[in-house]
Structure 1
């Protein structure tokens, strides 16, 4: 059974789009888990690996030479429990 040229093009395009979507979803899930499948023990949230973006370098640079502390040092378990969400803007319609 031979397909018409326009059907072949549509089928090829659909397969390419499905493969692209699957690849992007796979990469996003790998980035969320830091590539190792680990997650935060209490919330189940995944942690990014130190080589994601400039995270590790930025924290070292922020605390280096100024006596400052990193965000990880600031957010103690007590502060995390007492933290409240920031107010969100409300759109008038």
Structure 2
């Protein structure tokens, strides 16, 4: 049984509106009440972005990582996912 064209359009529109509403509700649940996403750190402002350009010369790392330090190096601990 095929649906009439206007019925298909109505169903597609209702589905799109339901998905949009669910997405907006999900986004609002993550906000801190002011409409901005909840901050993760104390005093952090969610609407502020800053960056700083840092340039390091290749000599500093090469001077630090001597052959003795390379032989004695151990891998860093990897993060563990709880319940994983």
Check whether TM > 0.5: no
Higher share in helix:
1
RCO greater where, 1 or 2, for CA within 8 Å and sep 6 or more?
A: 1
Larger Rg: 2
TM-score between the two structures when normalised by the length of structure 1: 0.39
TM-score normalised by structure 2 residue count: 0.42
